[in-house]
Amino acid sequence: MKYAKRNDGRKFNETRPITAEVGVIKNAVGSAKFQIGKTIAIAAVYGPNNVFPKFLQKPDRAILRCNYNMMAFSGSGDRVRPGTNRRGKEIGMVIEKAFENILDLSEFPKAAIDVFIELPQTDAGTRCAGICAASLALADAGFEMKDLVCAISCGLVGDQVVADLDYSEEAFEGGSVDIPIAMTPRNGEITLLQLDGEISKEDLKKAVEFGKEACLKIYEIQKQVLKAKYEETKQ
Amino acid sequence: MSKLVVVEKQIVVPGEILAEGMDFLPGKGTFREGENIIASRLGLVNASGRVVQIVPLAGKYLPKRDDTIIGVVKDMSYSSWFVDVGYPYEGSLSMKDATAEFIERGASLSDYFAVGDVIITKVANVTKEGNIDLTMKAPGLRKLNGGRVIEITPFKIPRVVGKQGSMIGLIKDKTGCTLFAGQNGRIWIRGSSPEAEKLATDAIYLIAEKAHTSGLTERVGEFLEKNKLENQK
């Protein structure tokens, strides 16, 4: 099915407006809020903490535990049933994997670093917003990491490759393919790439290109907000 | 050609390139990738000579040998105490390192340090696995009585102490409190009144908030002067 013009009038490679802020939760070691369009993600980092049960401890490094949670009335559809669910668990796991090789976990042997990602309002692209927020929160907490991580979801709506799908595009009646991409901006290493649906090789390549472009844009924003926290008080 | 990409005291985020070329050496909070030196944490750039390093702005306490810290006794076993030092795993203070006194067979260890006691102690050794050995055998190490303990980011302790103790001396003078700053970010304050302790606490939080700015001693001096007057009214 043809998708000639985007529902909200954006260009095909254009993301929704992005705002971010760090240090939003005072009790956390590090925290951040990341908003892209109507999707809002808040990440809070705690720890390093003790690990129980003890068999989960790693003697040479810390473990990373990510908790992804969509709030009950965050979406435009039905109420999301609160509490642990399989989708949330899986997304938490892929977010852990997206950070595992970026964070220096050997600094805190036997401990755990806990990341809580809450989504008070969602309009597709939640795991990517969550990764962007978590990346800011981890940097804000002062953990050693090789790079920040930026994420964006790209994909195919009808016959058109687009960047940053919103919910109306994800639910497009002509079919859509959603590809969340996370990467490190300095050397373009991809730390998360998922694909749901059917897509040709050329379109996939194009989607990843769109994703890289958008990630670099997000990186500039991330860099700016992290520095802004300290430059404000500098005077 | 080697060159420094950033300027001294610039705020950098993880992943930012600090210097290009092999003439520079990666210091704390940085690593080398190819020919470049990259920042691995949020902080201020400090390039002294050839070494480029990051002075962190945030982060948790990492115990190092010879750190003098403030700990809280959490538990005890037959021959040692377990002390919370602000790290995920407790430090252990063995009987041999805890006191110079002779401990009689069958004596109760809580006569020396009881659960909940706050102590100034020293890190004797840290293993790679994060096991922390503590000692009380150095001048000034003791059990603390009274007062309160507050906690700030350990990286800001040098600013609280100041050059040759100038900042902490200023707070002591103006508030009349006794203070001790542990390298794990905990500060013990004991004053003649709760108001004096509160004033010292507020001053320390002010330092922690503005730690990366210059002219901090004057600013804290002003703050203490202003609030002192209000107290007297």
Determine, for residues A142 and B41 on separate chains, whether the beta-carbon distance falls below 8 Å.
yes
Tell me if B63 is assigned to some domain.
no
B185 and B223, same structural domain? yes
Q: What is the pLDDT of residue B233?
A: 43
Of A59, A60, A147, the CB nearest to B15: A147
List CB contacts (< 8 A) between A140 and chain B: 42, 58
B169 and B130, same structural domain? no
List CB contacts (< 8 A) between B60 and chain A: 29, 47-48, 108, 141-142
Domain that holds residue B28: 3-56
User: B84, B111, B144 — which closes off a domain?
Assistant: B144
Of A112, A146, A223, the CB nearest to B40: A146
What is chain A's percent helix, strand, coil content, to nearest 5?
Answer: 30, 30, 40
B171 and B154, same structural domain? yes
- Checking if the pLDDT of A98 tops 90, the result is yes
B153 and B140, same structural domain? no
CA separation for the pair B189, B196 (Å, rounded): 9
DSSP symbol at A7: T
Tokens for B116?
């909940």
Strands B51-56 and B25-26: parallel
B204 and B217, same structural domain? yes
CB-based contact, A58 to chain B, within 8 Å = no
Tell me the one-letter amino acid at B216: L
Determine, for residues B17 and A186 on separate chains, whether the beta-carbon distance falls below 8 Å.
yes
Torsion sign across C-alpha atoms A127, A129, A131, A133: negative
Burial letters A205-216, b for 16+ CB under 10 A, else e? ebbbebbbebbe
Q: What is the pLDDT of residue A218?
A: 96
CA separation for the pair B106, B99 (Å, rounded): 16
B217 and B189, same structural domain? yes
Tell me if B13 is assigned to some domain.
yes
Tokens for B79?
């021959």
Tell me if B86 is assigned to some domain.
yes
Distance to chain A for B67, nearest Cα, Å: 17
Please give the C-alpha separations between residue B127 and each of A107, B65, B121, B131, in angstroms, as whole numbers: 12, 10, 17, 5
Q: How confident is the model over A179-229, as pLDDT tens digits? A: 999 999 998 999 999 998 899 999 999 999 999 999 999 999 999 999 998
Q: How confident is the model over B109-161, as pLDDT tens digits? A: 888 999 999 999 999 999 887 889 999 999 999 999 999 999 998 988 988 99
Please give the C-alpha separations between residue A139 and each of A63, A99, A127, B63, B221, in angstroms, as whole numbers: 17, 12, 18, 21, 32
Determine, for residues B29 and A235 on separate chains, whether the beta-carbon distance falls below 8 Å.
no
User: B128, B144, B160 — which closes off a domain?
Assistant: B144
Q: Exposed, middle or buried: residue B68 (CB in 10 Å: 0-12, 13-18, 19+)?
A: middle
Chain B interface test: which of A60, A65, A230 (most B C-beta within 10 Å): A230
CB-based contact, A220 to chain B, within 8 Å = no
B176 and B226, same structural domain? yes
- Give yes or no for a cis peptide into A48 (omega within 30° of 0): yes
Which stretches of chain B sit within 8 Å of chain A by CB? 11, 13-17, 29, 31, 33, 38, 40-43, 56-60, 62, 87-89, 128-130, 153, 155, 209-210, 212-213
B76 and B41, same structural domain? no
DSSP symbol at A5: S
CA separation for the pair A88, A127 (Å, rounded): 10
Distance to chain B for A48, nearest Cα, Å: 6
Q: What is the pLDDT of residue B213?
A: 80
Main-chain phi, psi angles of B28, to 5 degrees: -60, 140
Q: Each residue's pLDDT tens digit in chain B (233 positions)? A: 688 888 888 999 999 999 998 999 999 999 999 999 999 999 999 988 889 999 988 888 889 999 999 999 999 988 899 999 988 888 999 998 988 888 888 888 888 999 999 999 999 999 887 889 999 999 999 999 999 999 998 988 988 998 888 999 999 988 889 999 999 999 999 998 888 999 999 999 999 888 878 888 888 888 888 887 555 54
CATH code, domain carrying B219:
3.30.1370.10
Average pLDDT of every residue of chain A: 93
Q: Enumerate residues 122 to 141 of chain A having a beta carbon within 8 A of any beta carbon in chain B.
A: 139-141
Average pLDDT over residues A144-171: 94
Average pLDDT over residues A15-40: 95
Which ipTM value was assigned to this complex? 0.89
User: B86, B112, B144 — which closes off a domain?
Assistant: B144
Q: Which strands, in side-by-side order, build the sheet including B186-190?
A: B148-151, B186-190, B178-181
Of A108, A143, A227, the CB nearest to B88: A108
Tokens for B228?
């002192």
CATH code, domain carrying B32:
2.40.50.100
Tell me if B104 is assigned to some domain.
yes
CA separation for the pair A126, B106 (Å, rounded): 61
Distance to chain A for B143, nearest Cα, Å: 26
Domain A18-234 sits in CATH at 3.30.230.70
B155 and B140, same structural domain? no
B160 and B111, same structural domain? no
Q: What is the pLDDT of residue A149?
A: 97
CB-based contact, A145 to chain B, within 8 Å = yes
Which pLDDT band holds residue A235 (cuts at 50, 70, 90)? very low
* Residue entry with tokens 């980092």: A45
Domain count across chain B: 3
Tell me if B61 is assigned to some domain.
no
Q: Enumerate residues 31 to 50 of chain A having a beta carbon within 8 A of any beta carbon in chain B.
A: 47-50
E-strand stretches of B57-202:
68-76, 80-84, 91-94, 118-126, 132-135, 143-144, 148-151, 178-181, 186-190
Burial letters B19-57, b for 16+ CB under 10 A, else e? bbeeebebbebbeeeeebbbbbbbbbbbbeeeebbbbbb
Of A49, A110, A140, the CB nearest to B130: A110
Of B40, B57, B62, the CB nearest to A145: B40
Distance to chain B for A8, nearest Cα, Å: 34
Chain A interface test: which of B9, B10, B12, B13 (most A C-beta within 10 Å): B13
Domain spans of chain A, in order of start? 18-234
Distance to chain A for B19, nearest Cα, Å: 14
CATH code, domain carrying B137:
2.40.50.140
CA separation for the pair A215, A153 (Å, rounded): 10
B110 and B46, same structural domain? no
